[in-house]
Chain A
Amino acid sequence: MSRFPRYYTPLQKLGSLSLSSTAYIVLAFLMLPIIIIIPLSFNSEPFFTFTDGMLALDPEAYSVKWYIQVFNDDKWILAIQNSFFIGICATLIATFLGTLAAIGMSNSDMPFKRAIMAILLSPMIVPLIITAAGMFFFYTKLDLSGTYLGVIVAHAVLGTPFVIITVSAALAGFDYSLVNASLGMGAKPTYTFFKVIMPLIRPGVISGALFAFVTSFDEVVVVLFMAGPEQRTIPRQMFSGLREQISPAILAVATMLVILSALLLLTIEYLRDRAERIRIGDL
């Protein structure tokens, strides 16, 4: 362990070692539960645990039958389609309205800024169970519960705070004199928006959209209360699967979701890096 500076006392070395080992234990606590479902999903037996054959690395003990089962099950296919359909629609609404609002909110001349911001961010603070209960009463009266429109509107509202936060962050370093310059040189407002503002805040808009998508994709409480059997999404299907009969098909779905979130993470990190470089003028 020659990595320590030479002036370290033995006690300091011990302290430093125990700190790094604690950190790795916490990281293992974070990662292991997620990693563990990946091999479990290839179990050939209908159990949620490792069989002796799996531990002996017997190829017979592994199979992809739960993946095949998922893709042959109409309920799962419908759930996958619903999740993407609802998620994409909700994201489009949330991103469009959220970006517009963030442009207004980031200007210091905006009237009633604090009050409006509190209202716009409130869907993020109120616990989902309260949101779901309130929406259930209200949307039922409007005949919206049990419809795609109802779920999409609910998910769009839940996603907007994230768009506002990311777009506002992107606009924080935005130089408004560029807009004045563009308008002053005769560009139309829409042209200015798409050719001057948009390219500079695009990483913020895209990462806000991704947040909104994940919010909808992961949301289950509102779906549980409001959606009918036709609007069942992936998490809703997993929820009832975990309550009723625990089948490794859920683990197969979970593994696919882990891979999807890894891809999302990479995209977001890439966008953040890009946004940072735009901010410091390196692009």
Chain B
Amino acid sequence: MSEHLSIEEIAHGQKQLRRKKVKLLAFTLPLLCFVMLAFIAPIATMLYRSVYHPTVSQLIPETLEQMEQWKIIPNEMPPVNVLTAFSLELRDLAKERHSGKLAEELNRGFPGTSSLVKSTARKLKRMSAEELVQGQGKQLLSLHKKWNNPKLWSEIKNLGSVWTDSYYLTATDLQRNLDGKIEARDTQIYLKLYWRSLRIALMITLFTALLAFPLSYYLANTNSKKANILMVFVLLPFWTSLLVRTTSWIALLQTNGVINSTLEYLGIINKPIEMLYTEFATIIAMTHILLPFMVLPLHSVMKNIDPSYFRAALSLGAKPMPAFFKIYFPMTLPGLSAGALLVFIISIGYYITPALVGGTDGQMISNIIAFHMQSSNNWELAAALSSLLLMAILLLYWLYDRFVGVNNIKLG
């Protein structure tokens, strides 16, 4: 075609296309900027925060500079100039009442250092700077025997770097030993929580799939008027506030709640079963809350499966069970996988329901993130834990997009 167009015409066409693209971008740009500023930027700063930690290096810059030349060798103390610089800086911090901050920071890397730093700072405050310079760190070493521990000094050097992977190591229950090698911690906290979140999310996904499959099949194969009415019973829970649904599970599951009273009334049990504040409560409440997310995609796929394939298999002599699993089931897989990934992605990062009904053993990774945000104020660790969760979810989402396609997300 193009050979019939003159160069001017092609140029004109390209110019128009460019103009159109600019116009289209202009439509999208306001929202793009809004999302970038109000959503992407906060998450990016959080990721940055999980690896950037300048607090220690701002508190004791001179000590860290002196430490530059010191190569960490196991069981060897840093040179005296480091000790002198540290004594002076700790004395200054004590005078400015900032030594508590350093104590808190060092305590995170080397538990038990908090009181050591504070008491030493109090004593150093009374000494003069000249005295400390002349003493070449002897005062520091004599104030407490813990300062003679080379491990403490190598830890200070580690904590002093501006860029740190220590929060990620903590978040995956690892630590750096004296040789700088990474090793597993004795007690697992976070990995256990990740595994538990994974297990709870998988169980919820499995239960929603098991419940949604017969329901969707029935809705897809009954007459459409009836199906439309019954669909309301799926959509009403979908539209109901999740706080409302969590509230009703608390009413149902608590010690003197509806389920226990009913069971006692029927004489099945004599004393109430403890169901609320357990992992069981988290799983059943979240299965209920997320069930519509499984039913909706599954139903929309099943509705479009022609029942004559299944009937053809039967009339050609296949037994019902093999016919079902070989003919019908594979055709439902797009809906099933979409629902499963959706439920899994939502449930692995869920916060509200586990926080309200989960007790201690029903807590998930998001609850520990909230804990570090609100109670322990270890924001960097919260950021590292969040980033790991985010990476897992983006990976899942990428898989979802690859195998199912994002455009298959349907609402209502």
Residues of A within 8 A of B (CB): 15, 19-20, 22-23, 26-27, 29-31, 33-34, 36-37, 40, 47-50, 93, 97-98, 100-101, 103-105, 107, 109-111, 116-117, 119-123, 125-131, 133-139, 153-154, 156-157, 160, 162, 164-166, 207, 211, 214, 217-218, 220-221, 225, 234-235, 238-239, 242-243, 246, 250-251, 254, 257-258, 261-262, 264-265, 268-269, 272
Of A19, A258, A265, the contact of B217 (CB 8 Å cutoff): A19
A52 to B336, alpha carbons, bound, how many Å? 44
Is the CB of B81 closer than 8 A to any CB of chain A?
no
Task: State whether B409 touches A130 (Cβ < 8 A).
Answer: no
Q: List 13 additional A-B contacts (Cβ < 8 Å) besides A119-B36, A134-B386, A234-B243.
A: A23-B217, A26-B214, A27-B234, A33-B245, A100-B27, A126-B43, A128-B351, A137-B46, A225-B373, A234-B241, A235-B241, A239-B352, A269-B232
Given A110-B24, A139-B42, A157:B34 Cβ within 8 A: yes
Which residues on B sit within 8 Å (CB–CB) of A157? Answer: 34-35, 38-39
Task: State whether A257 touches B251 (Cβ < 8 A).
Answer: no
CB distance from B140 to the nearest CB of A (A): 36
A to B contact number (C-beta, < 8 Å): 259
Task: State whether B21 touches A129 (Cβ < 8 A).
Answer: no
Q: Which of B354-412 contact A (CB under 8 A)?
A: 356, 366, 369-370, 373-374, 379, 382-383, 386, 389-390, 393-394, 397, 406, 409, 411-412
Which residues on B sit within 8 Å (CB–CB) of A234? Answer: 241, 243
Which label, helix, strand, loop or mixed, suits the secondary structure of the A interface? helix
A156 to B33, alpha carbons, bound, how many Å? 13
Task: State whether B214 touches A23 (Cβ < 8 A).
Answer: yes
CB distance from B47 to the nearest CB of A (A): 8
Smallest CB-CB separation from A11: which chain B residue? B320
Given A34-B240, A139-B42, A120:B247 Cβ within 8 A: no
Task: State whether A126 touches B211 (Cβ < 8 A).
Answer: no
Residues of B within 8 A of A (CB): 17, 20-21, 24-28, 30-32, 34-36, 38-43, 45-46, 49, 211-212, 214-215, 217-219, 222, 230, 232-237, 239-252, 254, 256-258, 261, 288, 291-292, 320, 345-346, 348-352, 356, 366, 369-370, 373-374, 379, 382-383, 386, 389-390, 393-394, 397, 406, 409, 411-412
Task: State whether B241 touches A31 (Cβ < 8 A).
Answer: no
**What 5 A-B pairs come out closest when comparing CB atoms?**
A127-B349, A104-B27, A23-B218, A138-B42, A101-B31
Task: State whether A48 touches B257 (Cβ < 8 A).
Answer: yes
A56 to B214, alpha carbons, bound, how many Å? 36
Of B34, B43, B230, the contact of A131 (CB 8 Å cutoff): B43
Task: State whether A109 touches B42 (Cβ < 8 A).
Answer: no
A157 to B39, alpha carbons, bound, how many Å? 7
Which residues on A sit within 8 Å (CB–CB) of B27? Answer: 100-101, 103-104
Which residues on B sit within 8 Å (CB–CB) of A136? Answer: 373
Task: State whether A111 touches B21 (Cβ < 8 A).
Answer: yes
Which label, helix, strand, loop or mixed, suits the secondary structure of the B interface? helix
Task: State whether B369 touches A129 (Cβ < 8 A).
Answer: yes
Of B17, B245, B366, B369, the contact of A34 (CB 8 Å cutoff): B245
Of B217, B237, B411, the contact of A211 (CB 8 Å cutoff): B411
Given A127-B389, A261-B240, A121:B218 Cβ within 8 A: no
Smallest CB-CB separation from A28: which chain B residue? B233
